[in-house]
A and B are shown apart, each in its own frame.
Chain A
Amino acid sequence: MSWRLWLPLMLFAGFVGLAGYQLTQPKNDFVPSRMIGQALPYFDLPPAFAGLPGAKSASFADGKPRLLNVWASWCVPCIAEAPQLEALNAGGAEIVGVAIRDRPEDVARFLSEHGNPYKAIGRDDIAEVQFALGSSGVPETFVIDGKGVIRHQHIGDIRPEDVPVLLAKLREAGQ
């Protein structure tokens, strides 16, 4: 019997092996933004909270790097993230929020329960700014440098171990 007869079976076994390996790999649902390295798209959102101004892109290009936090009061991981935003705020980070599909009274309730680390919060009722940023969910956090360029994207809630990383990214963006 020629060795060539075994070739199709070997090919098939190789395919099964590859498929089996890929099936055991953890699935990555994150869709990273392609806007990193690009200028912040234009937006001018009305305030989502009576005590703070709204969010606009023009306020970013003033030399100071900032965090842009895309969140919502109805988003459960955003509650888990709140203490880390406080820690970032305490570490000198200026945080601008964009509240997705949110009501001012719900935003006020969330901030009174979980703390308010924001300098400004814009109200985005139709996820317009979210699409412009290439963000695919809440919460997500972008590092914007002093020239108004997007430098880094953090997808999902910020865990304690992410706080020093984001502070370092902010310092990097300030240079």
Chain B
Amino acid sequence: MKAIPLLIAAALLPLAPLAAQDSLPPAPYAYRQLDDPAQEAAAQALMETLRCLTCQSQSIADSDAPMAGDMRHQVRLRIAAGEEPEAIRAWLVQRYGDYVSYKPQVDGASWPLFALPLLLLLAVAAVLWRRLARRTQ
């Protein structure tokens, strides 16, 4: 019975922050939406496809990390200033590489991922074609 509080404490341990966090308030547009709904929608769509760099499995739209908030601020400010979402993505990719973007892209390294399903479909079609042709004979 004595072990139960200890077990609960052990279970909660991973929830404690690994590194201390700052005490500064979030950037102005980290949690504030843009006034123009169309611009906010464009910003939201972009933020959902940008990786949070401190919690790398989340998008910056999902993450409460201060750095993700700062990045949302950058995205919203740039959208409000009339910048195209893809230009903002390119600005980040230029600094952090493709890793910062969740949007799939066909390039030198990733083309087999897109080519392989097509090849498999073609192979299946060829096999089906031969079998059906044999059956009708």
In the complex the two chains form, is A76's CB within 8 Å of B20's CB? Answer: yes
In the complex the two chains form, is B53's CB within 8 Å of A74's CB? Answer: no
In the complex the two chains form, is A33's CB within 8 Å of B96's CB? Answer: yes
In the complex the two chains form, is A31's CB within 8 Å of B70's CB? Answer: no
In the complex the two chains form, is B67's CB within 8 Å of A133's CB? Answer: no
Closest residue of chain B to A127 (Cβ to Cβ) is B70
Q: Main secondary structure on chain A at its contact with chain B?
A: loop
Most buried by B among A29, A31, A100: A31
Residues from chain A with Cβ under 8 Å of B67 in the complex: 127, 130, 136-137
In the complex the two chains form, is B53's CB within 8 Å of A31's CB? Answer: yes
In the complex the two chains form, is A32's CB within 8 Å of B95's CB? Answer: no
Q: Given contacts A72-B22, A76-B20, A103-B23, is CB(A131)–CB(B94) below 8 Å?
A: no
In the complex the two chains form, is B95's CB within 8 Å of A102's CB? Answer: no
Which residues of B does A touch, CB under 8 Å? Answer: 19-24, 27, 53-54, 56, 66-67, 70-71, 73-74, 92-97, 99-100
Which residues of A does B touch, CB under 8 Å? Answer: 29, 31-35, 72, 74-77, 100-103, 106, 125-128, 130-134, 136-137
The 3 closest A-B pairs by CB, nearest first: A134-B95, A136-B53, A127-B70
